[in-house]
Amino acid sequence: MRVCMNGLPSSIENFLREAGFSPTEILVLRRLLEDGPQTLRQIAARTGKSTGVLDQAVKKLLRRNIVTREHINDISKYAVVSLAAIAKWMEEDTKQKQEMLTRRHQNFESFIHSLELDQARPEMHYFEGDEGLKQAYMQLLGGGKETLHYFPVLCAIEDDPLRDFRVDYFRVRRRKGIFSRFLVHDTPLGRRFASRDPFEYRKTLLVPESLYPITFEKVIAGDTVACFNHVEKKVCFLKYPELAETERRLFERFWKERENMVGPQTPKPAEAKQPEVPLSTRTFSSLREFLLSRKSLAIFGFFAIVAAAITYGLYRHNLFLNTMRIRERATAIATTGAMRFDVRDIEQLHTEADIKKPEYAKVIRLENEIRDKNSQARYVWIMRYTGTGSAWEFVADADSLNPYEKKDLNGDGKIDDSDHLSPPGEEYFDERGTMLNALKGPFGEDFPTTDQWGTFLTGVAPIVNSEGEGIAVLGIDYEIGELDKLSRESFQWFLPFFGLFFVFILIRLTAFNKSLFKEIIELLKMRKVHITLTVLLGVSALVTAGLYFQNYRLNIQRVRERAIAIATTAAMEFDARDIDQIHTKEDMKKPEFMKLVQHLRQIRERNENILYVYIHRPIGNGEVVADSAYGETEGYEDFNGDGKIDEEEQLVIPGQQYPNEDPYFEEKTKRPFVTLLKDQWGEYFDASAPIYDAAGKTVAVLYVDIGIQELRKLTKQSFAGVVIFFGFFFLFVLIRLVAFTNHSSKRS
């Protein structure tokens, strides 16, 4: 009987696929159900499959009695027998699978039952040869925190064929904290074996050979009893908990008897006393083990990473301090240099056509004078705000006297955008929007900024009109390379790295190797707590003092460089002809004197924390010309604000000599100079720069003084974070060490 249907039900199709029918077989069934009996060629035409592939699929269906072959008009056609045939095959297939699963379950239950029976039987393992001996010893390390040995010493240590292995075996055993006890014959070889107990993390008792016959090594570890025949190089393991417990009790009995033996039972040949190992030998042996174990190497690597991270943090702190140094220097130059420019000249420069005006050349000349006096400054420029968004426009750039000239500004051997020269009126966009702050007062960038000319730290200050309004800003750029140079000079990374690494290793040594530190403490005749605390506090004090002096030194450089930058830049602002008019007290009435005083006051007011600004003529130790502190009190005023006028407030007058000898005065007339000075007016950084006439001759020296309290303030601010960090760090270490020491005391 054949059947013809519209298609193969999806449930049957899915089952056939799960039962292992191939896609081709399912495709043949679908065609036969939908189209009725067909030849292979007809099926191939409808499915696109080759007759060879279809023939293989049809043969499988024939063997399963799902498809039958019929001859119609002498042509072989294939048809599905019936859906019942498919259902019958599915039923038989399901029954076979169930029987197979039942057999598997029965086999598994038999296996489990056999395991339960075998667990009650002693388990034995055998090893042979040198490699077998080594493998057996390593397996014993899994038997708990103690191994018990009956050990016949058959040869000297240097003649032992397993000598090298025993060294590695000891290190692994020591790292795992597995202690060993040995019963050894009281012979010369046995006594020599016992003498090495301090190095091998074990304890040996010598027993009379006649009372304790030991012919092979027997080891009790956990629930295993191991027998080692070192002559034949064979090992037998018997895993039998009851036997292991019995052997352990017997060993403990022998051990206790031997410890308590006295009188005639104890043989006394030249024997019984073990040679004492020197304290220094025990110490260096423990130190060697501490340095060479894998655990120590891993800890060293971890501490190296921690030390590197802290060193990097210190480097970043150092980088921050040097950033402040350059920022303050650039801001001081900009602040002082801005007073040199005439607002009327700035107002004449707006477009590219203005480069032909004499005012443009004058402004460019002044910018270059400022840069020449401060050789580390890379660029000097003036910009004005356009009043729109972040757009500014160039007024004058020190390198752009001829904006059309081709210059290799950065010295890289090629002319590109980084060498662009900016004419008046060219736009510049302040992406960070910080330059607007400079119209209100001097301003320094906290971080380097990058534009087409490079990466710089910039200080800017306003150029103000007669009403005190900022109409433009003067900018001073320092290349980022100057910051890197200062950081390399002021921070040697390897010193804090190795210092911290040593501290970490020392602390870890106290916790990791108790026996070593016990030997060291005995050697020094001091208690562990006292030693630990003394070392910790000493290292803490040294590290903190080192960091403090490092901060102090960098801040000295900050104050010195800022003071000398102000003096150098401001010295160019004074006219030698005005100075030549002031020689005596009577000259104080001249307009040139008040002009000098007002200019000195502007320098002091525009730069924060400046105490005194004054001019001396190079005569003797310095002849007074003018002082910013001069007022309407004819030489006296309460300058320090203490409510009284005393020697500290006495103001000198023109022509008066500086009262103290200055050993550096001649040097100050030749070049910018800075010293830490202490006199009747206080203690301060005294920066100076010569003032020249038109012929280049020194006519006077300008002094700018910054009080020592500025240094203390900067040091306190910059060091506070370091103090807090190391305070908590050493407190944590201290608590950890005290806790460890108390724990060790309780255990001992």
Q: Can you give 351-399 as a three-state secondary structure string?
A: CHHHHHCHHHHHHHHHHHHHHHHCCCCCEEEEEEEEEECCEEEEEEECC
Residue 394 has a pLDDT of: 93
- Whole-angstrom Cα distance, residue 197 to residue 536? 32
Q: Where are the alpha helices (DSSP H) in 64-196?
A: 83-118, 129-140, 163-176, 188-195
- Whole-angstrom Cα distance, residue 748 to residue 743? 9
CB 669 within 8 A of CB 698: yes
Tokens of 681: 């007016």
- Residue 4: beta bridge partners? none
Tokens of 334: 């900009």
Higher pLDDT, 274 or 594: 594
CB 630 within 8 A of CB 659: no
In degrees rounded to 5, what are phi and psi of residue 551? -60, -45
| Segment 77-96 mean pLDDT | 76
Residue 181 has a pLDDT of: 92
In degrees rounded to 5, what are phi and psi of residue 706? -115, 130
Place of tokens 């190797």: 513
Q: Taking 90 as the threshold, does the pLDDT of residue 467 lie above it?
A: no
User: Pick from 548, 550, 567, 549: which is nearest to 706 by CA?
Assistant: 567
Instruction: Find how far residue 415's CA is from the centre of its chain.
Output: 39
39 membership: H or E segment, kind and range: none
| Segment 223-248 mean pLDDT | 90
Q: Taking 70 as the threshold, does the pLDDT of residue 724 lie above it?
A: no
Tens digit of each residue's pLDDT (9 = 90 or more) over 37-76: 888 888 888 888 888 888 888 888 888 777 888 877 778 8
- Whole-angstrom Cα distance, residue 33 to residue 87? 15
Residues composing the chain = 748
Map residue 489 onto helix, strand or coil.
helix
What domains can be seen in the chain, in order of their start residue? Answer: 1-121 (1.10.10.10), 124-261 (3.30.870.10), 317-408+417-489 (3.30.450.20), 568-715 (3.30.450.20)
| Segment 551-570 mean pLDDT | 77
- Which residues, other chains included, contact 504 with Cβ-Cβ below 8 Å and sequence gap of 6+? 303, 306, 307
What letters, b where the CB count within 10 A reaches 16 and e where it falls short, cover 360-381? beebbebbebbbebbebbbbbb
3-state SS string for 535-548 = HHHHHHHHHHHHHH
Q: Taking 80 as the threshold, does the pLDDT of residue 81 lie above it?
A: no
Higher pLDDT, 617 or 287: 617
User: pTM of the predicted model, to two decimals?
Assistant: 0.46
Confidence of residue 424 (pLDDT cuts 50, 70, 90): very high
- Which residues, other chains included, contact 556 with Cβ-Cβ below 8 Å and sequence gap of 6+? 711
Residue 705 has a pLDDT of: 86
Eight-state DSSP code of residue 652: P
409 membership: H or E segment, kind and range: none
Higher pLDDT, 299 or 22: 22
- Whole-angstrom Cα distance, residue 652 to residue 584? 11
* pLDDT > 70: percent of the chain: 74
Residue 493 has a pLDDT of: 54
| Segment 615-622 mean pLDDT | 84
Q: Show the beta-strand stretches assigned E in 234-314.
A: 234-239
Q: Which residue type, as a one-letter code, is found at position 256?
A: K
Pairing of strands 391-397, 379-388: antiparallel
